[in-house]
Amino acid sequence: MPHRSELYEDVPSACWPIVYSPDYNITFMGLEKLHPFDAGKWGKVINFLKVVICCGYHHRNTTGSLPSQLPCSEKSFETSANPDRRNNNGGGFHHCSSDKGGGFCAYADITLAIKFLFERVPGVSKATIIDLDAHQGNGHERDFMDDQRVYIMDAYNRYIYPGDGFAKPILCLLSNTETFLGAIKRKVELEWGTEDTEYLQKVHTHVEGALNELKPDIIVYNAGTDILDGDPLGGLAISPQGIVKRDEVVFKAARSRRIPILMVTSGGYQKRTARIIADSILNLHNLGLIDKE
């Protein structure tokens, strides 16, 4: 029997598949403004999207009120016979494992989501994590170290935090057979200042390779924007257009294989990342990549 829960629900046809709650935006007596992470960026993303929708449909908006299309839910997601694409406008705390926090990450939301699906949603027995934040996602990697149901692709700046060698694949010789041990099944280590052309080529090649190697029942896509040129912690040099194209590449790969996908927005340490996330969601919507087929 399907698990009965209010943690997930179908997306109404009139709504965009975006999960959001105002509680995502963190405040603490103004001290959050001193932190490099924009703790209110998720609300800014929603506001950008509402403004665009309002402007796009202003001739039908006689009351001047904001549209109701966003967000679709303050809950989570499910998979079904019809592939579902959802954006959780928040989350992506990929440095936190089930027993330890780290790197501005307080709880292991990616691990929790996947384990919930495995345990309580019929038909979900394999998952792929595509982690394209600028930092290695060592939290979920440690959680799924020995779990063959989870395939992890991780593309990150090789020189920055966390540098978790324990979670990286290591070539070992076992019974005269070369075997890779470690959580990351497809490791893509990037150099300082990697730019759009090289980055997008590697993303396309390795996303396609990962999904050809194992077809999962669900993709969890960690879409950090700290790859943006000028990010003080990411060390890469990807343009806003490159980030939009990156997300498009991932969603097209999922759509072509009819695999449900959940996107979480993860890191990004510049104020302009909220607008870039909103632009990417609009692009995915305009291409029909976040709607049910």
**Segments in 75-181 forming alpha helices (H):** 109-120, 138-143
Longest Cα–Cα distance of the chain, Å, equals: 74
By the 8 A CB rule, do 153 and 131 touch? yes
Q: Looking at beta carbons, which pairs linking 164-169 to residues 24 or more positions away fall under 8 Å?
A: 164/136, 164/138, 166/138, 166/142, 167/136, 167/138, 167/141, 167/142, 168/136
Q: Catalytic residue at 58?
A: no
Residues 157/234, Cβ–Cβ less than 8 Å: yes
Query: Of residues 35, 58, 59, 95, which has the active-site annotation?
Result: 95
Cα angle: 61, vertex 62, 65; to 5 degrees? 60
Catalytic annotation, residues: 95
